Each structure stands twice: as C-alpha cells, then as structure tokens.
Chain A
Amino acid sequence: MATVAEGVRKPPRRSFGESALPYLLSLPALLVCIGILVPFVTAVWYSLQRYNLAMPYLKGFIWFENYKILFTDTVFWHTVWVSLLYTVLTVGIELVLGLTIAMLLQRSSAFNNAMSIALMLPLMIAPAIAALMWKLMTNPNFGIFSYLLSLVGVTDFRWGSSPSSALFTVVLVDVWVYTPFMMVLLLAGLRGLPRQPFEAAELDGVPWTFVFFRITLPMLFPYILTAGLFRMLDAIQQFDIIYAMTQGGPGDTLMVFQVQAYLEFFTYTNVGRSAAILMVLWAITYFLSHQFIKYWLRLRERARGVA
C-alpha cells in the first residue's frame, strides 16, 4: 500500500548557488547598513565615556555623565533654542519665498525659464563661500550692504558682529543660498499639478484666494512637506554659514549644535562631549523627521480615502 508520503514528490534539491543567492543579493544592503551603524554605535559608545584626547589618563566609562553635564548647562539649552529658532526661521522664510517665486514662474515661457535658471545660481555656490562673500558685503567699513544702509541713514548696523543682528544676518545668508532649492522643488510640483481643477475654477469665476488656499495648497502639500523636511534636516545641522560668519558668536549668540560639537572635538579634543552633543542632535532630528513623515503618510491615506 502506497503511503501518502510516498505520493508527495520531494522538491528538487537546490544547488548551493541557488540557496545562497538571496543572501548574496541582500549583502550590499547589509554592508551599507553596517557601514551606517558602526559609526553610529561608536558615537553612542564615545558619548558614554569621559574621553578627552588631551587627557588620556582620565578616559573611562561614565554612563550618562556627559548628557547630565549638557542638560544642566544653560549654554546647552541656549544651543537647543537657537538651533530650533534658526531652523524655523530659515525653513519658514524659504518656504514662503520659494513658493511665491515658484508661482510667479509657474507659466512656462522663455523669460520664466531664464529666470528660474538665474535664480538657481546661489544654490551652486558652496555655503561656506557664500558666507564669506556675505561677510565681505556686510563689512561695516567697505561692504556694499553697509554702504546702501548708510544711504538711508543707518550708519551703525553691525550685521553678524552684534548679538542683536547676528541671527538676522545668518538667516539672510541661508535664505539667499537655499530659497532656490525650495523654489525648484515647488516649481516642479506646481507644473505637475493636474490642470482640470484650475480650469473649472476659472470657468466658475472662483476668487484667486479660494483657488490658492483650497486647490493649489492642498494639492501641493506633499511637495511642500518634502521640501520642508529636506531643508529642516539641513538647517538644524547648520554649520558652514554660521561658523564662517561668526564662529558661533558674538558671545554664545549663534552657538548651534554642529558648531558646538565641532569646537568640542577639533579645538577642545573632547570626544565624549562632542559625541553626546551629536547624539542629542540626532534624537531631535529623528523626532522631527518622524513627525514629518507620519503627517505626510496620514495625508496620503486621507487623499486615498477621498479618492
């Protein structure tokens, strides 16, 4: 009597190459993952150590002491505040300006196309170079902007060298450099929107404010979120513009995360403290990105539901 087992055909034996193929295919991803994780885990490890290169005899595991020192330091909370303020101001202004310019250039014409290329130029300059250029242009002795201000009677505006105007100055440079980035992404989004809702609104004689707030903005929102996310990630990690213009000063006025971490490592050789600052920055960046993406996914779900 034939058993059931005999009736089932054994699957053909796979060669070693065939069995290993899935692992081989995922190997590059695994290597990239390890490449990312190793420095990250190393940074976490360093952040839990008292590790100053100039004082090797003090090196040791101190658990969360570096974090405790940071969180009890008023300068650190100022760093958190100024980093977030810088991020909100730059991303907000660039978003509004980028969207405005994109809407002005929405219709494809020879002039608009030429303008969109011309407006891209600041994006092609390294931010550190742009900062140095602006440092010269805002020099109170010979800078063109100081000269222009003097024509309208403002003779003592100190730009990046005064605590009251330093943030304004670096935000201005950031806006000059990165607004084109917003503009390009949003222009692509605007030109990619379906035309029918706009044509229908035009036929119905709907006011432009209604069209903008109820049709354009909601449809453009995924693009706005994407552009905002990219810029937010960059702005909260700002280094080059601020360091080139003020080195984080005057005083502690512009002591943002990256400048603080850079000084701790390269100038003070305090590896542990520098790593702890960067881990806090990572946590904030992760949280903000997570919120952005969660919101974006919710919007997408809602759009699908409506559809």
Chain B
Amino acid sequence: MYEKAKDAVDACMRKGMSRRELGRRLGALGLTAASANVLWGTASTRALAADFDWMKHKGKTVTLLLNKHPYTDAMIADIQAFKDLTGMEVKYDVFPEDVYFDKVTAALSSRSSQYDAFMTGAYQTWQYGPAGWLVDTNEFLQDESMTAPGFNWDDVLPNLRQSTAWSGVPGEALGGEGAKQWALPWGFELNSIAYNKKMLDGAGGEPPKDMDGLMELAAKMQKDVQGVYGIGVRGSRSWATIHPGFLSAYTNFDQRDFTMEDGKLKAAMATPESKAFHQQWVKMIQDSGPKNWSTYTWYQVGTDLGAGASAMIYDADILGYFMNGGDNKEAGNLAYTAFAPNPKAKGPTPNVWIWSLAMNSFGEQQDAAWYFMQWACGAEHALFGATKMDFVNPVRQSVWDDETFQKKISDNYPGYLDQYKASAPGSKIYFTPQPLFFNLTTEWAASLQKMVAKEVPVDEGLDQLAASVDNQLKQAGLG
C-alpha cells in the first residue's frame, strides 16, 4: 500500500495528477491526512533532488535575519524539508517589524557577515543595492550549475520579478535593461478594499465602485453604525502611510511621484490633478477616518477591521485575509473587492509590497545561501505555505493555479480570489525608484498629516512639499 501511495504522490509531483485527485486516491488507500502530509514532504524532497546536487553544501549552516510574519512562520514550519534536501543547517533570528529594518541597516552598514540572507522589501533594495550590501542574484539565476532546473524563475509573477530588479540609476524603470535582481520575491500584498459585509448589509451599503462612492459609503457607515468609523487607512509619520491604499488610488488617477526632465527627477505631487485627489483623500479621512489616524500603522488598520471598529479598509489585501480568521471578533464577516477609484481607469492599479529574500554581499558562504534562497522562493515551499499554512499572497502563478489552494481560499475567504484576479494584472510597484525614497515618502506622509490636521491647506501643502522635495533632490544631485 505504501508503494501505491508513494507512486500517487510522485505522480502528483510530476503534475500528472491534481492535488484533489491525489487526496481522493490516498483516502481510498486508507491514509490519514497526517500520513499524506509526510508522504507529500518526502516526495517533494525526492522530486526536488531528482536532477540537481542539492547536497553540495552538506554540513554548512546558513544564518538568516527574519521579520516576524506569517510567511516566516510558514518557512520555519517547513524548514526540515530544506535540511533533509540539502543536509544543511539553518539558524535564524526573528525580530518584530518595528525594529526589523533598523536591525538590517545596522547589520549591513557595519559590513557584518553574521547573516547570509535576510528578508527585505523591494523599496529597501533601492538603498541596500547601490550601497553595495546586496548580491545581484542574476549571477546565480543565470548559472545553470547553481540553480535547480525545477526552480522555474518564469513561474514568478512577471510584475514582481520586475519590481525587485533595478539598474541603480535613479528614475530608471524597474526591471529595465541592465537591472540587477537585488532580491527574490517571496510573498506579496496588493491593495484593495476589505469590508465588513455584515455591517454593510445591515446598513444597506454596497461595496464602492470609485473614489466618490468610497467617500460616500465611508461617511454613511460612520453615520449609520454606532461606534464605528467609515474607512481605515494608514496615517503614521512614515513612508508606509503612502505606499498602500494612498499610492494605489493616486496612481489610478494617472498621477506619478516624479517626472524625469533631462535626466533629472522632479517632484510631480503639485499638479492640479494631484491636488484634486489629495483634497478627496484628506476629506475622506477628516470625515470618516479614525480619530487618531495620524498614529495608524498597518497594525491598527487591520485590528480595527477585525474588531469591528471600522466598516472597511483600503489597505493590503492580506490584512483583510488575516482579519477574517483566527480569534477576531468579525472573523467570517469580512469580504473583499478590487478597487479602481478613477471611474475612467481601465482597472485597479494596486501598488504592491513584496516581502523578498536578499543575499548579504558580506556573507562568507554565498553559494550555500543561494541554495537556501532558491528553496525558500521555490514552487514546492510556496505550495506548502499556501496550502498548509497562511502564506498569502504567493508569488508564483503555479500556486495560484493550484486547485487545493484555490479551494482553500474560496471555501474560507469568499471573494478573495475574485478580488485578486481583478487586481493582479495592474499590481506592481508604482514608485519611481531612487535612493531618497524613504526621506521623500516620509515627508509626503508628514505633509498629509498637516493637511488632515488643517495645519495647512491642501494646495499650499503640496506646493511646499514639491518645493522641499525638489530641493532635496538637487542637494543629492538627482534633481
């Protein structure tokens, strides 16, 4: 019976059988889910090891710097599979997000070889890459002796591959010619609307179709539902306030952060269209946002939705996913909708955050680190995370196409897949890559705070912001 079960799992691995069919066959053979999982793990290892020398670095230890995240939890849960596959050991330090990037900056700027690989966002690579702290992974990706044939780089969503590659020339398009692949996409989030369906149904509200509709619905929910505010968006004095819903909506109105003029960057936030959009965004927060909006990070935005304190959020789709499960008060009541704020837009344009894995250029065992990175960003681990854990959103098309994953999401998170399918085509990084990203985007967030607090009128605030941004670009020789 074991041989039959093993053959069935191997067939599934070779993609000759769907996972649903596999489950049915294993059930017919009398195997429990737990036994099937063990078989799945060993078969994965066999399949991966089939035509690549995964044992090349046996006995070595790679050390990782990780952020506390469900992606990290999924990786740690599957880490034994990597150890079995390679004979390598893995050590890791996990830090909460509040201090995580300080730790990364401290480790890399001191040229420490302590960590071989680490988690990063794509925006951070715009600092770390030109600083010489990262290895361009193209040198591994293009080396057939270093990369397993089954790694299938093309399976990674094209927009994410492009979004994590940059030439290092300020203003030059992501993923363009000569771009260095500073990091491998690992998991990502796009920005859409997650709403409390029970609350909206109770108040006779419909998911919004555009920016005006969003503002109206947020105001209505705030008015009609006692103790609830209309819309949750981030507001802390940080670059992280700009990149989710705000930039996704801003982009949908064909607005950009910078323009290039004669090879120089120039602030583009003070156009009439940008001012009109800012007016709407600021009014929406003033009328229907949380009272202490200026301290809101992703955490408060998410937990308010989960606790029933807000009617909806315009933020990372995975926030809505996580708040719809676990012990959250509103678990099971949340729903999702893709969102294009501009009625004239062809579709949604969500800006994305990509948790990626990057390699420390000061690391002393880069080849071994690469083995870890290609395993962690590979299809097998992504499928494990997506189907057995909460690894959403996966970066690989094959995982999105997997029936088991689709069924899991459809059964437990109705509407999430539809939201994803509608949002995905336009999802990518819309910021202009340049090394002052964090300065200028944080200043943008600070300006937004001043506008919401009515310290400065929107028009004047944006003119001041653009002048300050241009001045800083000039000082850095970029503008």
A297 at the interface (CB under 8 A from B): no
B345 at the interface (CB under 8 A from A): no
Which of B132, B309, B476 gathers most chain A CB within 10 Å?
B476
Q: Which chain A positions have C-beta within 8 A of B127?
A: 53-54, 269
A141 at the interface (CB under 8 A from B): yes
Stretch of A16-24, A152-160, A192-200 contacting B (4+ beta carbons < 8 Å): A152-160
Q: Contacts A56-B132, A251-B446, A269-B127 given: A158-B291 contact, CB under 8 Å?
A: yes
Interface residues in B7-52 by Cβ distance below 8 A to A read: none
Nearest Cβ on chain B to A135's Cβ, whole angstroms: 7
Residue of B nearest to A263 (CB): B442
Q: Which chain A positions have C-beta within 8 A of B381?
A: none
* Contact between A161 and B446, CB atoms less than 8 A apart: no
Nearest Cβ on chain B to A129's Cβ, whole angstroms: 13
A248 to B449, CA, bound (A): 11
Which of B106, B132, B295, B438 gathers most chain A CB within 10 Å?
B295
Interface residues in A20-79 by Cβ distance below 8 A to B read: 52-58, 69
Interface residues on B, range: 35 or more
* Contact between B130 and A245, CB atoms less than 8 A apart: no
* Contact between B291 and A246, CB atoms less than 8 A apart: no
B290 at the interface (CB under 8 A from A): yes
Q: Contacts A159-B292, A161-B295, A246-B295 given: A54-B109 contact, CB under 8 Å?
A: no
* Contact between B446 and A160, CB atoms less than 8 A apart: no
* Contact between B131 and A247, CB atoms less than 8 A apart: no
A252 to B295, CA, bound (A): 13
A contact patch SS: loop
A287 at the interface (CB under 8 A from B): no
Q: Which chain B positions have C-beta within 8 A of A162?
A: 294, 453
Q: Which chain A positions have C-beta within 8 A of B446?
A: 249, 251-252
Residue of B nearest to A268 (CB): B439
B447 at the interface (CB under 8 A from A): yes
A269 to B124, CA, bound (A): 11
* Contact between A266 and B449, CB atoms less than 8 A apart: no
* Contact between B449 and A55, CB atoms less than 8 A apart: no
* Contact between B295 and A163, CB atoms less than 8 A apart: no
A149 to B237, CA, bound (A): 26
A263 to B443, CA, bound (A): 11
Q: Out of B106, B236, B475, which one reaches A247, CB within 8 Å?
A: B236
B105 at the interface (CB under 8 A from A): yes
Q: Contacts A249-B449, A251-B447, A251-B449 given: A139-B292 contact, CB under 8 Å?
A: yes
Q: Out of A160, A161, A251, A269, which one reaches B450, CB within 8 Å?
A: A251
Q: Which chain A positions have C-beta within 8 A of B309?
A: 141
B436 at the interface (CB under 8 A from A): yes
Nearest Cβ on chain B to A185's Cβ, whole angstroms: 32
A98 at the interface (CB under 8 A from B): no
* Contact between B442 and A163, CB atoms less than 8 A apart: no
Residue of B nearest to A55 (CB): B435
Nearest Cβ on chain B to A63's Cβ, whole angstroms: 15
Nearest Cβ on chain A to B107's Cβ, whole angstroms: 12
Interface residues on A, range: 20 to 34
Q: Contacts A141-B309, A269-B105 given: A58-B449 contact, CB under 8 Å?
A: no
A133 to B475, CA, bound (A): 40
Residue of A nearest to B293 (CB): A161
Q: Contacts A158-B292, A246-B294 given: A54-B105 contact, CB under 8 Å?
A: no
* Contact between A56 and B449, CB atoms less than 8 A apart: no
B238 at the interface (CB under 8 A from A): yes
* Contact between B109 and A248, CB atoms less than 8 A apart: no
Nearest Cβ on chain A to B25's Cβ, whole angstroms: 52
A246 to B476, CA, bound (A): 28
A54 to B134, CA, bound (A): 12
Q: Which chain B positions have C-beta within 8 A of A160?
A: 292, 295
A140 to B294, CA, bound (A): 12
Q: Which chain B positions have C-beta within 8 A of A141?
A: 290-292, 304, 309
Nearest Cβ on chain B to A266's Cβ, whole angstroms: 5
B115 at the interface (CB under 8 A from A): no
Q: Which chain B positions have C-beta within 8 A of A54?
A: 126-128, 130-131, 435-436
Nearest Cβ on chain B to A167's Cβ, whole angstroms: 13
A161 to B296, CA, bound (A): 9
A270 at the interface (CB under 8 A from B): yes
* 7 nearest A-B pairs in the assembled complex, by CB-CB distance: A249-B237, A161-B292, A140-B291, A54-B127, A251-B450, A54-B435, A250-B294
Extra contacts, 15 of them, besides A54-B127, A246-B294, A267-B239 (Cβ < 8 A), are A53-B127, A56-B131, A139-B292, A141-B292, A158-B292, A160-B292, A162-B294, A162-B453, A247-B237, A249-B236, A251-B447, A251-B455, A267-B442, A269-B105, A270-B439
Residues of chain A having any CB pair with chain B under 8 Å: 52-58, 69, 135, 139-141, 156, 158-163, 245-252, 263, 266-270
